[in-house]
Amino acid sequence: MSPSSLSSSFSSPYSRRRTLSPMSSSSPWTVVTFVLIMSMMMTTCVSEEPSESTIEHCLRMKISSPAPATKRYQKMLDFSRIVCRDQFRMVGFSIRSRGKLPKHYLEALCNIYGDDQQKVNGYVKDNFFGYKPQELIGDQTCAAIRDKKKLLKAPPPSLKKLL
């Protein structure tokens, strides 16, 4: 046998290049499984009816003050607290930049306290030290916020004729 015939019958792993596709045969199933699991997780986490705003949820958590998580990893994985911290940070920024509470924050307080302006004023007075409650609230009352919200939901007069 000649050396060339030997080399053709015996091939080392380095003599021939294999071309592998970037996706093996099991990879599409892995991707499909991953997408299905993520979609199932998202549908169970998202509520069907957004009954309250994010800031309202955060205020309810703050007012009711549930027991803190006991383990460190539970605190790190509590995404609602992370979102609430960011929401309250935005409220603080709004107070520093405009000198007033945001309207959605006041609307959430009105929802929580059942449109009782005295309770809303008391909450603002007790939780925002160094600020005058009347300056933070301004001319906003629960009744005024409700009226503006109803006006925004009502269709324009031109559409009422069509309906």
At 30-39, the pLDDT tens digits run: 888 888 787 7
Arithmetic mean of pLDDT, 70-94 = 78
Residue 71 forms part of a structural domain? yes
Q: At what angle do helices 54-64 and 103-112 cross, to 10 degrees?
A: 50
Residue 32 forms part of a structural domain? no
Residue 66 forms part of a structural domain? yes
Arithmetic mean of pLDDT, 67-78 = 61
Higher-pLDDT residue of 52, 137? 137
The pLDDT value given to residue 106: 92
The pLDDT value given to residue 49: 42
Counting the structural domains of the chain, the total is: 1
Check if the beta carbon of residue 142 is closer than 8 Å to that of residue 116: yes
Q: How far apart are CA 16 and CA 3, in angstroms?
A: 17
The pLDDT value given to residue 50: 44
Residue 30 forms part of a structural domain? no
Residue 16 forms part of a structural domain? no
Beta-carbon contacts of 115 under 8 Å, excluding residues fewer than 6 positions away, are: 142, 143, 146
pLDDT band for position 89 (50/70/90)? very high
Residue 128 forms part of a structural domain? yes
Parent domain of 153: 51-157
Whether pLDDT at 69 is above 70: no
Residue 25 forms part of a structural domain? no
Beta strands in the chain (DSSP E): none
Residue 1 forms part of a structural domain? no
pLDDT tens across 108-155, in order? 999 999 989 999 999 999 998 888 888 888 888 888 887 776 666 666
